[in-house]
Amino acid sequence: MHREHTPTHTASTYIKPNIRTKEELKERILKTLGYSLITAELTDDMLDMCIDEATELYTKYCSFPEKYLVVNLKDKYVPNVGICLADENVAAAYGVEFPGGNFGSLVTDTIWSIPNALMASGAYPFFGAGGTGAGNWVTYHAAVEWLHLSKRMVGGIQYEWDPYTQTLKLIPEPENLDKSILVKVEVIPADEYLYGNEYVKRIAVAKAKMLLGTIRKKFSNLSLLGGGTVDTTIGDEGKEELDTILENIRTDESRGNGFIIG
């Protein structure tokens, strides 16, 4: 008799990790430290602190998925303050445009139309020119700088982004609020995705090892039953792991590297 096989999808994956909550991450940290076979001298509050420091470090160095937000100025813009994007959990804003706005005498959408034209001309690296890769990073840099300068000269929208209040202020203040703008942003993922993130899990464990090492050093002069001593090397192990992890994040998930022309 033929039986249809129903595939299962319960394995923890990069896309869908099994860890989704802070409590599940705490349990993982303790197990990584050897609990319950050995004692891990960390309280629940200490584990909370390690996880908080892990998410703070990860979100400081990594990049996030880009999104385009359509913002109605009439509903969102507060005069002399700006647009609060805290509800969207925005990490950074990279561009503001009026959809269908104009660029000099050219009536077009400046977010896509002009970059697409530059790409087709071969100004961008590895793209355009029939796929021959006529451009390079120098031509790309020159094209982007030309675009930014031209927008400033012909009256493109300028803005200030405050990452702490997550507020976007337009310069100059818009006189007509009965319109929408298009904002290019990076959005921080929801908690359930952060707690399951590979780097967050590794950072949290490294932080826990460093804290555990600091705690055990307070008792390093004590002699244990049988003549043993308290092992404090786990703190150094955590520090080495953290340095490696942060270098990996800067290399693999950073917002980009600067370069010098000259």
**What are 72's two structure tokens?**
């109605």
Instruction: Give the tens place of pLDDT for each residue, 68-109.
Output: 888 888 889 999 999 999 988 888 887 787 765 544 444 445
| Residue 262 placed within a domain | no
* Per-residue model confidence (pLDDT) at position 99: 60
* Per-residue model confidence (pLDDT) at position 220: 75
Residues 165 and 92 in one domain: yes
| Residue 182 placed within a domain | yes
* Per-residue model confidence (pLDDT) at position 244: 95
Residues 70 and 154 in one domain: yes
Residues 44 and 117 in one domain: no
Residues 85 and 129 in one domain: yes
Could you tell me which residues come within 8 angstroms of residue 60 by beta carbon, excluding any fewer than 6 positions away? none
* Per-residue model confidence (pLDDT) at position 104: 43
| Residue 139 placed within a domain | yes
Range of the domain at 233: 22-62+192-252
* Per-residue model confidence (pLDDT) at position 159: 85
Residues 70 and 58 in one domain: no
* Per-residue model confidence (pLDDT) at position 107: 45
Q: In angstroms, how far is CA 135 from the centroid of its own chain?
A: 28
Residues 199 and 148 in one domain: no
The number of domains in the chain is 2
User: Which domain-ending residue is among 189, 208, 227?
Assistant: 189
Residues 168 and 233 in one domain: no
With 0.85 as the threshold, say if the pTM is over it: no
What's at 62, amino acid-wise?
A: C
Please give the angle made by the CA atoms of 133, 136 and 137, to the nearest 5 degrees.
Answer: 145
* Per-residue model confidence (pLDDT) at position 115: 66
Residues 55 and 79 in one domain: no
Kindly state the DSSP code that residue 197 receives in the 8-state scheme: -
Pick out the chain residues at pLDDT < 70.
1-3, 99-115, 118-119, 122-135, 151-157, 223-229, 254-262
Rounded (10°) angle between helices 233-252 and 198-217? 160
| Residue 11 placed within a domain | no
The span from the CA of 25 to the CA of 19, in Å, is 6
